[in-house]
Structure 1
Amino acid sequence: PPAPAPPVTRAALDPALVAGRGADVPFLEQEAEHARTDGTVIGPDRTAYTLPSEASGRSAVRLARGQHVELTLPRAANALTLRYAIPDSPTGGGITSPLRVTTGRDSRTITLTSQYAWLYNQYPFSNDPAADLLHPDWWITECGCVPAATTPAPVVTKPFRPSHFYDERRVLLGRTYRAGETVRLTVPPGATAEWTVVDVVGSELVGPPHVRLRAANALLFGADPTGRRDSADALDRAIAFAQRHDLPVYVPPGTYQVNRHVLVDDVTIEGAGSWYTVFRGREVALPTPAPDGSVHTGVGFYGRPAAEGGSHDVHLSGFAIRGDVRERVDTDQVNGIGGALNDSTVRGLHIQHTKVGVWLDGPLSGFVLEDSMIVDQVADAVNLHTGVTGSVVRNTFVRNTGDDGLAMWSEGVDDAGNVVERNTVQSPVLANGIALYGGRDLTVRGNLVADPVREGSGLHAGARFGATPFAGTIAFTDNTTVRAGTYEQNWNIGLGAIWLYALDRSIAADVRVTGDHYLDSTYNAVLLVSEFGVRDDVSITGVTFRGVRVDGTGTSVVSARTAGGASFEDVDVRGVGAVGVNSCGAFHFPPTGSEFVLTDLGGNDGTDNNPWRPGTNWLAPFVPNTLTCDDRPPVVPPPPPSPW
């Protein structure tokens, strides 16, 4: 009899464990490691710089030439999204390699690429696997040293710290296949790639193209749907006509070459759907740097700068943006959506291979991003930067970012009154799933964050990067993290699934963590921390945890490495790997106890792995300020998450 079909999962979990949280997406995902294959399952592994660590669920299938992976469609589908990895070229820059996709009785060959993957070295990273250290004066965990200050200089293995291995490929199948039909992915015997890793396959029933008849049709203004000619000027003409005649711009199915920013203001642009209307462009070197420091331009839809009043009433929907960004240049404006967009909406977009999917520079207000997908970015997926207010990011799916998935950065001016809700963020290679850097009255609600890899974790509030103080109410509500709590190589400790970090200043706002679920945390569920050098200058206070579930930690429930305090009420735990609380305070170890005070408000159930007081409630022995400082307890892998 045939093997059972691989189950449908969300972030490699049973969907029942994350019901009502994360983005409501149109596709169903199946993990390759659960499929039928003659390849090799790799992982699970949460060690940075490995292929399984960046895979969904920390495991995938590696195929040699001639091998395959096969799954069964869980429902009718006419489109697939394949997440995969193939090797880099020996000198960097990537390769292409074929993959055979057999669906039912039909078969086609698609081309995979690693041209947008494989970064190396230290921030801001390199495409060259043979590059020397970009910062020879930085601390290097691998040798426990500052190489420039070490005699003799240590030998750093090359390629150094490879990362960002994966990419995605979307395939329209041409017809609809029934539930129960098979999809087989086969590496041809003559494939260029020595190996192909298949991570996860999404199947989807895509509807017919959207049509808008009463509109400024971009084809009538010279846009080329074959992609042979640049269509940027034609879009400018269509936008100008639409503004004069109070019409939307409609862009029919096709692939349109656009190699610069398209300026948008007081206009609606509709595509036929992100599977049908694609704006694709090259990254173009500028003859001289732009005033903002950019040395490249590329495809993107930009509002006017905030200094010029910004743009207003911009509405973008139903298309894909495919960039050509292969390196990280932080001064470059090569983002999918940029500028200042007031009272504007972005809906139903698919953004891939840009630097940042959506980076808005305020002050601006009233922006909404929803129902979109942002994948395979060199930096963030979304960053609301400097004075963004009254704005919302909701129901958006993010995967494989090179920095924070979703971020709000109040650099000098408060972000305020913003909401990030019901999004899914998977596999940020660097930094955090969702991060707040300063700001006032911010809400992070109902999100699902999975598989952060290094130098960050699932949810984060950081007083750093020149951000304004946190103020008002900072609410983390009804979020779920899974396989978060990464290893911070610079500090040589494990982070929490949620972590608060006081560096530039104290965190003293009303920080409320309510209803969150932290599942299968690699190290701690909660970390409150300050940099050792400022431990006497900053603290973290005013934090409350209420109605939280912790299902499995590799070490503690709470790790406190700062002065201050937090309260806990109805925090239920199970599967704790070490003592419930690791409280180092500000590392002065006074005889009165830790400088971090934990307050028990009742209802905190479950036991830890305390060898001195077995069976004790996880919080009780550590209230109010008991010193229990063990930075690096042995990690005990928790059992898989299960219904509570």
Structure 2
Amino acid sequence: MHSSSTARHAGRMPAVGAVVALAAGMLVSVAPAAHAAAGATLPFTSVEAESAGTTGTRIGPDHTQGTLASEASGRQAVRLTSGQRVEFTVPRAANAVNVAYSVPDGQSGSLDVYVNGTRLTRTLPVTSKYSYVDTGWIAGSKTHHFFDNARLLLDRDVQAGDKVAFQATGTQVTVDVADFEQVAPAAAQPAGSVSVVAKGADPSGNGDSTQAFRDAIAAAQGGTVWIPPGDYRLTSSLNGVQNVTLQGAGAWYSVVHTSRFVDQSSSSGNVHIKDFAVIGEVTERVDSSPDNFVNGSLGPNSSVSGMWIQHLKCGMWLTGTNDDLVVENNRILDTTADGINLNGTAKGVRVRGNFLRNQGDDALAMWSLYSPDTDSSFENNTISQPNLANGIAIYGGTDLTVRNNLVSDTNALGSGIAISDQKFMDPFQPLAGTITVAGNTLVRAGAMNPNWNHPMGALRVDSYDSAIDATVNITGTTITDSPYSAFEFVSGGGHGYPVRNVTVDGATVKNTGTVVVQAEAQGAATFRNVTATGVGAAGIYNCPYPANSGSFALTDGGGNSGWSTTWSDCSTWPQPGQGNPEPDPNRDLAQGRPATATGSQDVYTPGKAVDGDANSYWESTNNAFPQSWTVDLGSSYAVRRLVLKLPPSAAWGARTQTITVLGSTDGSAWSTVVAAQGYRFDPATGNTATVALPSGTNLRHLRLTVSANTGWPAGQFSEVEAYLAN
């Protein structure tokens, strides 16, 4: 059995509840006027570390694959070294906190916790054990899954306005976001239930409780298995689970430690799993292993609710019969692959009100392998930081619904939502009937696809392996801060299959990096009441691939505004903020462009030199001159002037860097534009050096080679700016 879906993302296309808003770094409820609120109703309130007080260093924003900030919520976080802290203002009454964090590979440690200045006895453990996942068999993937989550009961109540601080004690820790929650007391045992402890389970976690769980399930047929507060260790999976309720005292109290909880190919159903945690020990992704909370079938009329699912490969990988299954109000964190995948045969399944963070593949997916998923839905889920694939993906199936979900911060090989006929393997059931995509909110969704060498939109409709002939209705969509495009229509396998029968009705697009509509397939779509503001390059990119495969017709259904222009040159891909007209001679051509280097030191990556922030910087590998930094300007320009910067802080002492300027029009053949010479950077004069380029210089690729630096044994630039004007 193919155990997860990211192997699907090896694209071959050549280059050519509540809506959550960030208000002072806090997740708050905002009800859009056009449709019901998107996302889950959550028992916690999240606060971004970059909005908190800190003695550490804020990193990001960054959308570059493989960087720590690109996987962070909001694309920003706070890095703490030993003795540094981040202090959150508590947004609500709480007695517990969950923290998303990252530590360097191979390291573990803890954070000291302070409440209103008083250090708690308990610390928050941090580890890289479950992070830094490599999936070399997936084309275009890099090491990813940098973050993890750790939770702590504070053993006291804190009120809105109180201060909770986390301080590094040795290990460098990057803190991303803190979830503050008022956890209810542990629930009492239901009358008539069968306790696993009574059957011999060990709540200390020392003994093996597998057989006790099996015996309790056998004894409680038609009734309830009770999992009291405690930690229980299972050494193998449960099967034959049917006609029973498995219930805990609450996800913060009853904890089962296993990497394979239920693994069965069939069940007569009526299984209800609720109100406890299943926490695994999955540290890598092995697609042939069923390292999942539920693998296979729970049977008809079953449910999963109130669960905390963490450190597994997949939360739920569902095959067989699961008719009318309800999966609601769960937290699924830190899976190395999918959060939930309905892998064919799903009928009437409702996945709603769940929170998913830090998935290593699609957070939610329906994949119609062998038989179609039908009449099933993903509704009112909140998804944050899927770090390899899509937030929500529909791969084939009939009469499916994606409604009122909130998806943010997708990365590398995914969109916020993908509606696709990518099959991965046969027998596959393509999209059919009506696919309803309604009321969804996508924030910072979409990514640069390293296989295609250009991006995927926040919402993608993809005729990857076959034509899309289903009716696809996309209504009431909000797309905010997409790094690239808002809506994409593509035949990602490079076959040129058409995308037809699509209607986009009612959408608000704000601050999209490139275009509103990215059309790269033949076919047609109708747009009504789509309004856009802050469009980066042009309204429409309409360049079907292959070039002779036919045209894509955009029908104006009325009520559209803010995106009437069309990108004029199909030989170049628009870059964020790069409009059609000739660039302003005084506009920095390098800002936001892709940058690379022969080496980088720690988090001081090449993109820091083109991010528009003079306080962040690139630093090359130390003690290894010469080192080169390169930027692709996207098109050939008659560049006349470079402005090189170091951070303006007086802490950056004066220094001289010996720099050679090289240029190329194709990225292969390089010529020297300005021979090596020393450039003085002095904080007394702004830590800036200007380089005049000879008349007649035309280049697309700009390279700066640093062979010496009197202030540090590495090349360093906080900004490299390129201008047409002298």
TM tier, shorter chain? 0.7 to 0.9
Match of 1:177 in 2: 158
Q: Distance in 2 between matches of 1:561 and 1:162?
A: 29
For 1:299, the aligned partner's letter is: R
For residues 118-177 of structure 1, what are the alpha-carbon distances to aligned partners after superposition, in whole Å with 9 as ceiling and x for unaligned?
A: 1236235xxxxxxxxxxxxx7x7xxxxxxxxxxxxxxxxxxx933211000010111212
Asked if residue 50 in structure 1 is aligned to residue 47 in structure 2, the reply is no
Counterpart of 1:266 (choices 243, 267, 285) is: 243
SS of the equivalent of 2:284 reads coil
Match of 2:254 in 1: 277
Q: Distance in 1 between matches of 2:551 and 2:234?
A: 57
Q: Distance in 2 between matches of 1:318 and 1:331?
A: 29
> Relative to structure 2, which stretch is displaced further, 207-216 or 272-281?
207-216
TM alignment of 1:487-636, pairs within 5 A: 487-531=448-492, 533-535=494-496, 538-588=497-547, 595-606=551-562, 608=563, 618=564, 629=570, 631-636=572-577
TM alignment of 1:105-144, pairs within 5 A: 105-107=118-120, 108-120=122-134, 122-123=136-137
Query: 2:374, 2:400 within 8 Å by CA — same for their partners in 1?
Result: yes
Asked if residue 41 in structure 1 is aligned to residue 58 in structure 2, the reply is yes
Query: 1:583, 1:628 within 8 Å by CA — same for their partners in 2?
Result: no
TM-score, normalisation: structure 2: 0.73
For residues 465-506 of structure 1, what are the alpha-carbon distances to aligned partners after superposition, in whole Å with 9 as ceiling and x for unaligned?
A: 243111110011000000012101111111110001112211
Counterpart of 1:77 (choices 78, 85, 94) is: 94
Asked if residue 396 in structure 1 is aligned to residue 354 in structure 2, the reply is yes
Query: 1:475, 1:512 within 8 Å by CA — same for their partners in 2?
Result: yes
Match of 1:305 in 2: 265
For 1:270, the aligned partner's letter is: Q
Change over 3 Å in CA distance of 1:389–1:627 after alignment to 2: farther
Asked if residue 411 in structure 1 is aligned to residue 389 in structure 2, the reply is no
Change over 3 Å in CA distance of 1:23–1:630 after alignment to 2: farther
Query: 1:451, 1:482 within 8 Å by CA — same for their partners in 2?
Result: yes
SS of the equivalent of 2:356 reads strand
Change over 3 Å in CA distance of 1:265–1:532 after alignment to 2: closer
Asked if residue 233 in structure 1 is aligned to residue 211 in structure 2, the reply is yes
Counterpart of 1:358 (choices 294, 313, 316) is: 316
Asked if residue 88 in structure 1 is aligned to residue 102 in structure 2, the reply is no
> What is the Cα deviation at residue 13 of structure 1?
5.6
> What is the Cα deviation at residue 337 of structure 1?
1.4
Asked if residue 187 in structure 1 is aligned to residue 168 in structure 2, the reply is yes
Q: Distance in 2 between matches of 1:121 and 1:359?
A: 19
For residues 487-539 of structure 1, what are the alpha-carbon distances to aligned partners after superposition, in whole Å with 9 as ceiling and x for unaligned?
A: 0111111111000111221111000000011111111101111146412xx21
Match of 1:161 in 2: 142
Asked if residue 220 in structure 1 is aligned to residue 195 in structure 2, the reply is no
TM-score, normalisation: structure 1: 0.82
Query: 1:9, 1:29 within 8 Å by CA — same for their partners in 2?
Result: no
Asked if residue 372 in structure 1 is aligned to residue 330 in structure 2, the reply is yes
> What is the Cα deviation at residue 14 of structure 1?
5.1
Counterpart of 1:447 (choices 405, 412, 416) is: 405
Instruction: State percent identity of aligned pairs.
Output: 41
Change over 3 Å in CA distance of 1:15–1:9 after alignment to 2: farther
Match of 1:4 in 2: none
Q: Distance in 1 between matches of 2:410 and 2:43?
A: 24
SS of the equivalent of 1:228 reads strand
SS of the equivalent of 1:25 reads coil
Query: 2:60, 2:77 within 8 Å by CA — same for their partners in 1?
Result: yes
Change over 3 Å in CA distance of 1:9–1:271 after alignment to 2: farther
Q: Distance in 2 between matches of 1:579 and 1:482?
A: 20
SS of the equivalent of 1:548 reads strand
Name which one, 1 or 2, has greater alpha-carbon Rg: 2
Query: 1:356, 1:379 within 8 Å by CA — same for their partners in 2?
Result: yes
For residues 399-438 of structure 1, what are the alpha-carbon distances to aligned partners after superposition, in whole Å with 9 as ceiling and x for unaligned?
A: 0000000000001210000011000111101110000000
CA-based RMSD of the aligned residues comes to: 2.2
Match of 2:277 in 1: 320
> What is the Cα deviation at residue 9 of structure 1?
5.7
Change over 3 Å in CA distance of 1:476–1:326 after alignment to 2: same
> What is the Cα deviation at residue 542 of structure 1?
0.3
For 1:487, the aligned partner's letter is: M
Asked if residue 483 in structure 1 is aligned to residue 439 in structure 2, the reply is no
For 2:214, the aligned partner's letter is: D
For 1:118, the aligned partner's letter is: Y
Mark the runs of 5 or more structure 2 residues left unpaired by the alignment. 1-20, 580-726
> What is the Cα deviation at residue 596 of structure 1?
0.8
> What is the Cα deviation at residue 305 of structure 1?
1.1
Comparing both structures, which one devotes a greater share of its residues to strand? Answer: 2
SS of the equivalent of 2:206 reads coil
> Relative to structure 2, which stretch is displaced further, 14-23 or 44-53?
14-23
